[in-house]
Amino acid sequence: MMNNGAILFFGILLTLASSFWGLLLAPQLQIGRAQPVVLEGTGEIYPSPRPGLAQQGADVYRAQGCAECHTRQVRQTGVNFDLWLADAGTNTAALAATMNRLNIADPAKLIAQAPVKLLGGLNIAQASSLAGQLTNDESKAQAVLVTLGPDIQRGWGKRATVTQDYLYDHPVQLGSLRVGPDLANYGTRAVPALLALQHLYAPQSTMPKSMMPPYRYLFSKRKLVEGEKPRAGALPANVEPGYEVTPRPEAEALLAYLMSLKADAPLAEAPVPAPPVKVAPPAPAPAP
Amino acid sequence: MTSPSSPLPAETGASDAACSVDGRATAAEVDASCRWPLLLLFTSGVCWLVFGTVLALIAAIKLHKGDFLADTSWLTLGRIRPASMNSFLYGFASQVGMGVLLWMMCRLGHVRLFFQWPVMVAWKLWNIGVTVGVLAILLGGSTGFEWLEMPRYAAGILFAAYAMVGVCAVATFTMRRVCEVYPSQWYLLAALFWFPWIYSAANYLLVLDPVRGTMQAAVNAWFAGNFAGLWLTPLGLAGVFYFLPRLTGQSLHSRELAAFGFWTLAFFTNFSGLTGLIGGPVPRWMPAVSTAATVCLLVAVVSNGLNWYLTCRAGCTSGQSNSWKTDSIFGFVRLGALAYLVHGVVSAVMSIPQVAAVTNFTYATVARNNLLLHGFIGMVLFGCLYYIIPRLVQVKWPNEKWIRVHLLCSLVGVALLFLGLGLGGVLQGFKLARPSVPFMDVVRGTVPFVGFSTLGVLLLLAGQLAFVANLAGLLRAFLTPICQSICGECCGGVPAAKAGAKS
């Protein structure tokens, strides 16, 4: 059999065909046709296409090979639940008695601080059972989702990134090496634009231990005459004393792209932790 | 059951047309027919390798000193890393691999290479394609997909060039004059069909008519995994299956075991590419399938390893001369085979989700790739080159000592790359998993290990230069008489030179 060219040929084709169906066609049917969804609560459509400048920036990101050192994905290892007292109501005595019964320390102080986290690290059954016991006519307790994982604890995102987050990207560059931090949520970190640009121009000036190479070729540099000040939009004078350093269009576009990186929309498959806030507590966080 | 099967299979009594003994080419005839096309493929392949290694060295230096060559856009880290990788994958490994493939198809089929001109045209096209592609990456035209960075126009040229080689190789296979199809031929034939499929499918689904969202990441991972596992690996395995029996003077221990290894590899490798997406934004079952396949692939790794080991052991106990043990070519092939086995085990371990949670996104994955590319593929291909080239040109290597130097440099270089980056990557992964360690400390902690890898790259480069020097000497010895005779013919030289040119 192993001397027959035709049998070899069909075996060779069949084996690869198996993964062609199994790993390409099957996922294509599952996630390849995903469409933008309407977010519950806000009614926004997610994701929406990037604005033009950010779209150009995606091209700069690709061309410079940023993905060689930066990932754009947040891994989540699991979830657990916190028990929150959203609203203490007025019948605090009854509430304190229940809390005492449930071995929650210092009820009076906690009730005064509401909304406040009472317990952590629970599973959904424990958390909702406790929440039920603590909810009476006026007081309101709820189970609040907590996403887990080192990526999330490092502040790289509030939840795992999912297929939905990348619908409008081409190429999708998830990255495979973290020499630099993850960028999936760079846009949510509220980095001032000039500081971000300065980091591109001279990374070690904003982050002394950074391993990032400088991208000076994305900027133009002009010598200032004696006493002249750099114009608005230029990098701070101390970055390159005596020179005016202004971002080229590529740098502006890259910045717009980085600022557009936000994978924080609450999705059914990737809920975002939403602890209750004072005054108007929102609806309970959706169960996973 | 063990059946005798030598690298040059014996005649059998079947009446298959392919078994006809008529017109069998001798080894010398095969080598002579392969001479020019293969010399072209091999020399340009090695040039790409050196080029790629120099780029890798620059990239490694940049990881120590970010300011190094930072003002030139085409030398930025994010461009020279893929350019270096593509030079290696397409310029060196694929090109030299295709040459070795053609040679083995001819040798094992006892048939001359009838397609010298098409292969030489393909050689030209392939190198144009790689040049265009690598330049495009350096100029910012990368597609952004790992191992598929070359833009569509370069990919088109490569595909056309490959198609010519592929047709020639398959035709050579069908013209074989030997009944028994040797295990090396299974792997070569499979690679011949697998490569165009994965390459065209990936280019279509990622570049020409892109799929949506993270399907792109899945296709990319499928492609990269299969490029390594179903194109480069079969080429390397064909080399090991050819040279271990040939150099030890033994027949392969078991053809059945080899067949078992072949089909298990063919089936499981397919599904094994997505382990890099563990924890990533794709449905969980996809990387899970890859984990299962990578672990199952150990079956193929173990059966191949066992087959090779028993073959070599038979060589040791056969009472014949054991001089092959110290042979440099055997050294290359053996180290390559060892790297393949270690890579199989390491991949299986790193595909377990709990391990991948630590090692993914770290230098450990880079270390694993280096073990496969420089350890397995690079070593085996160099073993092939050291064996084949002198036979093509009928000139001995001018300096045997440099072959030893090359072997030693490669061994230490690959060890430094693998162990340095592997250890650094695992530490990096453990620190990344502890949010209390600031990210900058995580990254700074990898610097000493990157230093080891830089040293490793430097050693690889030294070894490659030893090869280049040796090759230059060999080619000079081969080409000088030819040039002289051509000059003699043009300028009306002595008749003796004319006779030399015609012979």
Largest CA distance in chain A: 87
Taking CA–CA distances from B192, the nearest residue in chain A reads A12
Residue B174 to residue A19, Cβ atoms within 8 A: no
Question: What percent of chain B lies above the pLDDT cut of 90?
Answer: 85
Minimal C-alpha gap between B408 and chain A (Å): 30
Bond prior to A208 in cis (omega within 30° of 0): no
3-state SS string for B70-128: CCCHHHCHHHHHHHHHHHHHHHHHHHHHHHHHHHHHHHHHCCCCCCHHHHHHHHHHHHH
Neighboring chain A residues of B63 at a CB cutoff of 8 Å: 179, 211
Question: CA nearest A286: which of A174, A112, A159, A165?
Answer: A159
Q: Give the Cβ contact number of residue A221 at 10 Å.
A: 13
Residue B214 to residue A31, Cβ atoms within 8 A: yes
- Two structure tokens written together for A242: 């005596």
CA pair distance B314, A218, nearest whole angstrom? 63
CA pair distance B443, A181, nearest whole angstrom? 9
* End-to-end Cα separation, chain A, in angstroms: 52
The pLDDT, as a whole number, for residue B240 is: 97
Do A136 and A214 have their domain in common?
no
Minimal C-alpha gap between A175 and chain B (Å): 8
Mean per-residue pLDDT, B40-53: 98
Do A173 and A223 have their domain in common?
yes
Q: Give the Cβ contact number of residue B447 at 10 Å.
A: 12
Taking CA–CA distances from B179, the nearest residue in chain A reads A3
Neighboring chain B residues of A77 at a CB cutoff of 8 Å: 279, 357
CA pair distance B187, B231, nearest whole angstrom? 9
The single-letter code of the amino acid at A106 is D
Let me know: does A176 contact B365? Beta carbons within 8 Å. Answer: yes
Over the Cα atoms of chain B, what is R_g?
A: 23
Do A128 and A214 have their domain in common?
no
ipTM for this model: 0.91
B4 pLDDT tier (thresholds 50, 70, 90): very low
Neighboring chain B residues of A212 at a CB cutoff of 8 Å: 66
Residue A20 to residue B201, Cβ atoms within 8 A: yes
Range of the domain at A111: 78-144
* Domain membership flag for residue A245: yes
Do A116 and A247 have their domain in common?
no
| pLDDT tens per residue, range B480-489 | 999 998 888 8
- Is B215 at the interface with chain A, CB within 8 A? yes
Residue B215 to residue A181, Cβ atoms within 8 A: no
Do A241 and A118 have their domain in common?
no
Do A65 and A207 have their domain in common?
yes
Lookup result for tokens 């090695």? B46
| pLDDT tens per residue, range B339-383 | 999 999 999 999 999 999 999 999 999 999 999 999 999 999 999
- Is B199 at the interface with chain A, CB within 8 A? no
Higher pLDDT, A230 or B218: B218
Domain termination residue (choose one: A118, A144, A170): A144
Taking CA–CA distances from A169, the nearest residue in chain B reads B213
**C-beta pairs of B312-318 under 8 Å, 24+ apart in sequence:** B312/B244, B312/B248, B312/B250, B314/B248, B314/B250, B314/B253, B315/B248, B315/B249, B315/B250, B318/B249, B318/B250
The pLDDT, as a whole number, for residue B179 is: 87
Residue A18 to residue B71, Cβ atoms within 8 A: no
Do A91 and A202 have their domain in common?
no
Do A164 and A253 have their domain in common?
yes
CA pair distance B443, A178, nearest whole angstrom? 8
* Domain membership flag for residue A272: no
Do A164 and A252 have their domain in common?
yes
Domain termination residue (choose one: A144, A173, A201): A144
* Domain membership flag for residue A203: yes
B7 pLDDT tier (thresholds 50, 70, 90): very low
Do A249 and A216 have their domain in common?
yes
| pLDDT tens per residue, range B432-450 | 999 999 999 999 999 999 9
Residue B197 to residue A16, Cβ atoms within 8 A: yes
The pLDDT, as a whole number, for residue B65 is: 85
- CATH code of the domain in which A202 resides: 1.10.760.10
The total of structural domains in chain A comes to: 2
Let me know: does B275 contact B350? Beta carbons within 8 Å. Answer: yes
Of A5, A16, A216, the CB nearest to B230: A16
Domain termination residue (choose one: A123, A144, A165): A144
* Domain membership flag for residue A62: yes
* Domain membership flag for residue A96: yes
Residue A204 to residue B66, Cβ atoms within 8 A: yes
DSSP B334: H
Let me know: does A74 contact A159? Beta carbons within 8 Å. Answer: yes
Let me know: does B289 contact B271? Beta carbons within 8 Å. Answer: yes
* Domain membership flag for residue A277: no
Do A88 and A216 have their domain in common?
no
B225 pLDDT tier (thresholds 50, 70, 90): very high
- CATH code of the domain in which A136 resides: 3.30.1390.10
* Domain membership flag for residue A31: no
Residue A181 to residue B439, Cβ atoms within 8 A: yes
CA distances for B289 relative to A3, B147, B228, angstroms: 32, 22, 18
Question: CA nearest A265: which of A93, A40, A4?
Answer: A40
Residue A176 to residue B365, Cβ atoms within 8 A: yes
CA distances for B256 relative to B3, B10, B183, B264, angstroms: 8, 17, 10, 12
B260 pLDDT tier (thresholds 50, 70, 90): very high
Do A185 and A126 have their domain in common?
no
* Domain membership flag for residue A166: yes
- The pTM of this model reads 0.93
